[in-house]
Structure 1
Amino acid sequence: MSLVEQLKDQMKEAMRAKDKARLGTIRMALSAVKQIEVDTRETLTDEQTIAVLTKMVKQRRDSIAQYESAGRPELAASEAEEIQVIETFLPSPLTEEEVAAIIDEAIAQVGASSMADMGKVMGALKSKVQGRADMGAIGSQIRAKLN
């Protein structure tokens, strides 16, 4: 079952359970996927759908930081609830050890030896860790290993 089909099934379950918060978040995710499908005129793969959901989580984390700095904890809590719903559809996150092993493998695979090769390493890693780890944190770990 594809990720979009899982989203649709969960949307139906949320409707039956009358869970408005979950239903709204799932509808928002499906809308974002559908918008990209309409724009590109092609059906998204599970990997591309994960990229869309990951982007949505990142946007919500940014919103939480802004709401908290503006003194709006109720809006930050709403965003946090949306993150929890979206994360149920993302693959399980990688541990620190798994991330380090994947980074070491990618550095060896690309033959990176300096910071000039960082883009190659990031390119090799992106498909492996998409939606399972924070790319910003991975970038800083790669910098530390290449310096």
Structure 2
Amino acid sequence: MSLLYLARPRITFYTRCLRTFTTATLLRTEASTNNLILSRLKDDLKSAMRAKDKPRLNVLRAILAEITNASKTPKPIESDTSLLSLLQKQITASQKAIEEFESAKRQDLVDKEREQVEILQGYEKEIPKLSDEDFNGILEQIKKELEGKEAKFGQAMKALVEKIAGRPVDMGYVTRKIKEAFPSGK
């Protein structure tokens, strides 16, 4: 062996990682009073893994995947208010799937979807919503404000949404109540 080969300095290259990733900011934030359920989802995922609870694990993974996907959009899910709308969408989608599976006579899939709906409704019920008394008070205020004018559904809905902005509320319930209060045209 040659002495030149042994004496040659070894060339090493130091490169930094060019590919980086970020996780959803909400998964790293501390629990606040505004997002109690949101911060608990990750812990529930871990406990479902330990308990080998497949249905709950699948539901939690789906919810966290939706949250991560939403974090890459202009409207990320950062609070329980936005989580409520996500849960309601998933419940509605599961209920439609149940109807389709029943018409196709797939009882195994019906049972699976019903279990998923129960889990989602459990999280939905834990999110504190605007009470009926508070909502009715706000609705009465809007009725008084729009009393002299020819009140229409759209005007009432716009005024109500401005007043309840940032508070978790079932929009289906809101729409029904406004239709009852303002039966005149849309």
The answer as to whether partners of 1:7 and 1:26 remain within 8 angstroms in 2 is: yes
TM-score if structure 1 supplies the norm length?
A: 0.75
Identical pairs, percent: 22
Matched, 1:13 2:47: yes
Q: Alpha-carbon deviations, 1:14-51, whole Å to 9, x = none? A: 01101111111100100001100023385622322222
Structure 1 gap ranges (5+): none
Q: Distance in 1 between matches of 2:174 and 2:88?
A: 15
How many pairs align? Answer: 141
Matched, 1:104 2:136: yes
- Secondary structure at the aligned position of 1:40 is classed as coil
Matched, 1:118 2:156: yes
Q: Alpha-carbon deviations, 1:26-77, whole Å to 9, x = none? A: 0010000110002338562232222212221121122222222333332222
Matched, 1:142 2:178: yes
**Greater C-alpha Rg:** 2
Q: Pick the structure with more helix per residue.
A: 1
Q: Distance in 2 between matches of 1:41 and 1:92?
A: 23
Q: Alpha-carbon deviations, 1:126-145, whole Å to 9, x = none? A: 75453xx4x33442332122
The answer as to whether partners of 1:53 and 1:90 remain within 8 angstroms in 2 is: yes
Pairwise CA RMSD of aligned residues? 2.9
The answer as to whether partners of 1:25 and 1:85 remain within 8 angstroms in 2 is: yes
Higher mean Cα deviation, 69-78 or 80-89?
A: 69-78
- Secondary structure at the aligned position of 2:124 is classed as coil
Q: Relative contact order, CA 8 A, sep 6+: which one is greater?
A: 1
Q: Alpha-carbon deviations, 1:71-94, whole Å to 9, x = none? A: 333222211111111222224489
TM-score if structure 2 supplies the norm length?
A: 0.62
Q: Distance in 1 between matches of 2:54 and 2:123?
A: 18
Q: Distance in 2 between matches of 1:15 and 1:109?
A: 48
